[in-house]
Chains A and B, each alone.
Chain A
Amino acid sequence: MNTSQQDLKTVVVVGNGMVGYKFCEKLLAKTSAFNIVVFGEEPRHAYDRVHLSEYFNGKSADDLSMSHLGWYSENNIALHLGDTITEINRSEKVIHSLKGVLQPYDYLVLATGSSAFVPDIPGVEKDGVFVYRTIEDLDMIQNYARAARKGAVLGGGLLGLEAAKALIDLGLEETHVIEFAPRLMPRQIDSAGSAMLQAKLETLDLKVHMNKSTSSILGEGNIKGLQFADDTSLEVDMLVISAGIRPRDELAKLAGLETGTRGGIVVNQKMQTSDDSIFAIGECALYDGMIYGLVAPGYEMAEVVAAHLCAGERTFNGYDMSTKLKLIGVDVASFGDPFVTEPDSRSIVFEDSHKGVYKRINISNDGKYLLGGVLIGDADAYNILLQTVNNNILLPPNPEDLILGSRGGEASAGAGVVTLPDEALICSCEAVSKGDICGAVTDLNVTTVEGMKKCNKAGTGCGGCVPLVKDLIHETLKANGTYIKNIVCEHFDYSRQELFDLMKLNKIKTYDAALDHFGKGDGCELCKPTVASILASLWNDVIVKQHTIQDSNDRYLANIQKGGTYSVVPRIPGGEITPDKLIVIGQVAKKYNLYTKITGGQRIDLFGAHLSDLPDIWSELIDAGFESGHAYGKALRTVKSCVGSTWCRFGLHDSVSFAIEIEERYRGIRAPHKIKGGVSGCVRECAEAQSKDFGVIATEKGWNLYVAGNGGSKPQHGQLLATDIDKETCIKYLDRFLMFYINTADSLTRTATWLNKMEGGLSYLKNVVVNDSLGINAQLEAEMQGLVDSYHCEWKEAVENPDLRKQFAHFVNAPKEKDPHVAFDTMREQVKAKEW
């Protein structure tokens, strides 16, 4: 570009919110032919207002920032923060700021957003009454909430419920939501959906009041309560008003631009105001009589103006206001026309008040097309339903399958990603179509979601479309004939299962042999632990004999913690421990100055051990009859139990004894990922067995066996594999299930994910494990028995073997010295790691 700075036309953006920021980003992506000047009223850089409530969840203002600190200067944007524009002089084409800046413009973009609408209720000026709009509002709410016990939110719309979530997170004892209308989220969901949402929210301790008109705010200087028109009142210490938004059009009005009677700057399809060098975008713009109070249409408006300034033809034609969000942990989605009723359409409604799920879809009278719907409690189907509406996709013969799932038969209900047309909008935040995504896979070789984000920003906004993007990448690769295989890493061109089989057949016993036979290069931190795990699953040798290929925790048979110390977990099978053993744990912890905590798996974790103390600690524990708990390994951890029939008046069988038997059977067995189990003595399920990789629950007639449950980041209940079986059968099925998992799963894949990915799912697994459809059960059982018979306590081996024991030193040239870098703080009379 040869043009000098002076010759460039100047674009001035008023407003540094999400949409104003996005406009700058989009304009810069197209051209550098403009001087860009931005004015923001708030003191900080543009931040993510959509995720504002996460500010109370530990996110900082920086985390919410849309860009890094140097972004504006790097892109030569002049940024004026904390300065309000007071006047637009249209004839001179110059604007005036409160701080006295005179800024000429060639094009002016108003992205002034909106402010909270505060209804005219007597007493709104009292202390303790807030709006919920900016980080500054949040700071004030947070400060005030410290001394408050009861809070209320005025307004049961989307933002109001977000605000209520914020109050809950701030730890208020009571949080109320007051809504004037007879239902929650009146713009998005119907009455039945609202009722389900209300019931669900009330189980989460939120108190919801509908049909309430607030007549005044009580109290002297500070708010003390709310008075309602129906003569009732409510005592509260603070109030957050979230009764809607008001477009910020005062500057435009003053400049004589056309505005709507109920607010908003009138714009045409190019987002031009009544002055064609002035544009308005985002929540301040009024297009076709409507304010678009979501971020995605705001981004689309930004795109339209950026394109227009670069002589593009793009126009704004209204926007789909479908939305999906998680409100206080409850999925809520609304798409297409959620309210259309007979005689214009027919509705299919599914309601499960036990689980708190409500689904409604509206279909055309001829049953061919989906018009819209509402999802509460389970919105997994949202993306595909939205696509079905937007692309006029023909419905399958049984449209109810769309919300109920396919019942019976293996085929899934129609309308998969493959059937979408190329122009289907997948990422509405960044306007990326199916064609863009599939094209990036085919032409640019993009094969991962991360790569796609870099390539065309799909999935970088709200993130809701990421599962669809992933499916599309996968399906396109498949359609292009690319064989998709999860290879271990750059050194081994095999999947874990292939490598497992190769090492088994060729009796490979060391990592170096595996690399020489089947790999290339020198290995890395991905293949070394994978091969180490396979070696352990195949031959069950002492793992620290090859300690340099073990992952961080396995290398020193302990869990590395902040500061470089380790934690120690002795096995306490089934959570049962004698007083004498408890005393030993206490004595050891005291002697080595360890922090002690009860784990989720009914054991005791001892933190803060120096590397060089580990063998001494274990010598003492082993002398007292303890053995390794394998808390550091991708191995069986614990089998949790409830106390069962030995003490409990409801217990049907002895769950503790069975848990101990199972834990001792599978202890030390290494697998692609950690394995946890549980045994409950009755259907009350106190051991939470259904959230484990395997769970056993006592019945009148025997035991029910559940498999592939999961806690963690994606909780999932176990699936019922067999009912009313005896102990021997249960062990037999467990042997087969675990060994089948060890033989076939990818590295670091828990049983739940493994089963989720398995073609045919549970019915296939059942066929293998129960009906022996592959004819491998005798072999699986024999392999498992081999592992059980070769069990050893690896800590016993380590402390008794001088060569192995030598490995546990921080300095090889000063083995008795501890790392002077290790430091502790004190908390509640125990040590804790110094913060890093």
Chain B
Amino acid sequence: MEAVIDVAVEWVFVCKTDDIPQNGGGCVKVGDEQIALYNFSRRGEWYATQNLCPHKQQMVLSRGMIGSTGDTCEPKVACPFHKKTFSLLSGECLTGEEYQLKTYPVKVEGDKVYVGIE
């Protein structure tokens, strides 16, 4: 699932694969940054976004439910507060508001999960 990445990223080891629940998320700490990491095991995919929901500035996206929407099965996460949903691919808000999440590349080697930091 790694997209072609233009910018050189530093791969930071964040946790083991079984630290993040299946088909759910968890929050990892990288320096002072909070990153929401999602284990989309139903599709064998991993995603990472900022943990902060831009709607009310709450550090909670990792606690949201994930799922998909539309004919293309766009993967998404729903904020636990007001159920604003965001694409896990683009970080775009899918509930019609102009919010944008930062997304991060993720790679898994063995049972180790790495997040790419610019």
Q: Interface on A for B, CB 8 Å cutoff?
A: 490-491, 512, 521-525, 527-529, 547-549, 551-552, 555-556, 560, 562-564, 807, 810-814, 817, 819, 821-822, 836
Q: Which residues of B contact A524 (CB under 8 A)?
A: 65, 67-69, 76, 78, 85
A522 contacts B19, C-beta separation under 8 Å: no
* CA–CA, A552 and B81, complex, Å: 7
SS of A interface (majority)? loop
Q: Which residues of A contact B66 (CB under 8 A)?
A: 522, 548
A525 contacts B85, C-beta separation under 8 Å: yes
| Interface 0/1 of B65-105, CB less than 8 Å to A | 11111100101101011010100000000000000000000
Q: Which residues of A contact B80 (CB under 8 A)?
A: 552, 555, 560
* CA–CA, A547 and B65, complex, Å: 10
Q: Which residue of B lies closest to A520 (CB)?
A: B73
Q: Which residues of B contact A807 (CB under 8 A)?
A: 21
Q: How far is the CB of A633 from chain B (nearest CB, A)?
A: 15
From the candidates A523, A525, A548, A556, name the one contacting B22 in the complex (CB within 8 A).
Answer: A548
Q: Which residues of B contact A529 (CB under 8 A)?
A: 65
SS of B interface (majority)? strand
From the candidates A490, A512, A522, name the one contacting B75 in the complex (CB within 8 A).
Answer: A522
Q: How far is the CB of B90 from chain A (nearest CB, A)?
A: 17
Q: Would you list 27 pairs from A and B whose C-beta atoms are within 8 A, ordered by A residue?
A: A490-B69, A491-B67, A512-B42, A522-B67, A522-B75, A524-B78, A525-B85, A547-B21, A548-B22, A549-B23, A552-B64, A555-B63, A555-B80, A556-B63, A560-B60, A560-B63, A564-B59, A564-B60, A810-B27, A811-B27, A811-B29, A812-B19, A812-B20, A812-B27, A821-B58, A822-B59, A836-B58
* CA–CA, A446 and B65, complex, Å: 30
User: Given contacts A821-B34, A821-B59, A836-B56, is CB(A525)–CB(B64) below 8 Å?
Assistant: yes
Given contacts A525-B78, A525-B85, A819-B34, 8 further A-B contacts (CB under 8 A): A512-B42, A521-B73, A522-B73, A523-B68, A528-B65, A560-B80, A560-B81, A563-B58
Q: Which residues of A contact B43 (CB under 8 A)?
A: 522
User: Given contacts A522-B42, A523-B67, is CB(A548)–CB(B14) below 8 Å?
Assistant: no
| 3 smallest beta-carbon distances between A and B, as pairs | A548-B24, A552-B80, A524-B67
* CA–CA, A551 and B64, complex, Å: 8
Please tell me the number of chain B residues within 8 Å of chain A, measured between CB atoms.
40
* CA–CA, A539 and B81, complex, Å: 28
Q: Which residue of A lies closest to B13 (CB)?
A: A813
* CA–CA, A560 and B61, complex, Å: 13
Q: Which residues of A contact B73 (CB under 8 A)?
A: 521-522
Q: How far is the CB of B110 from chain A (nearest CB, A)?
A: 17
Q: How far is the CB of B24 from chain A (nearest CB, A)?
A: 3
Q: Which of B26-64 contact A (CB under 8 A)?
A: 26-29, 34, 37, 40, 42-43, 52, 56-60, 63-64
Q: How far is the CB of B1 from chain A (nearest CB, A)?
A: 14
* CA–CA, A491 and B80, complex, Å: 20
Q: Which residue of B lies closest to A522 (CB)?
A: B68
* CA–CA, A523 and B24, complex, Å: 12
Q: Which residues of A contact B75 (CB under 8 A)?
A: 522
Q: Which residues of B contact A555 (CB under 8 A)?
A: 63, 80
Q: Which residues of B contact A523 (CB under 8 A)?
A: 23, 67-68
* CA–CA, A241 and B27, complex, Å: 60
Q: Which residues of B contact A817 (CB under 8 A)?
A: 29
Q: Which residues of B contact A512 (CB under 8 A)?
A: 23, 42
Q: Which residues of A contact B69 (CB under 8 A)?
A: 490, 521, 524
Q: Which residues of B contact A562 (CB under 8 A)?
A: 56, 58
* CA–CA, A692 and B43, complex, Å: 44
Q: How far is the CB of A168 from chain B (nearest CB, A)?
A: 32
A813 contacts B29, C-beta separation under 8 Å: yes
* CA–CA, A429 and B69, complex, Å: 37
* CA–CA, A491 and B73, complex, Å: 10
* CA–CA, A552 and B60, complex, Å: 10
Q: How far is the CB of B89 from chain A (nearest CB, A)?
A: 13
Q: Which residues of A contact B14 (CB under 8 A)?
A: 813
B27 contacts A548, C-beta separation under 8 Å: no
A564 contacts B58, C-beta separation under 8 Å: yes
Q: Which residues of A contact B29 (CB under 8 A)?
A: 811, 813-814, 817
Q: Which residues of B contact A811 (CB under 8 A)?
A: 27-29, 34
Q: Which residue of B lies closest to A822 (CB)?
A: B59
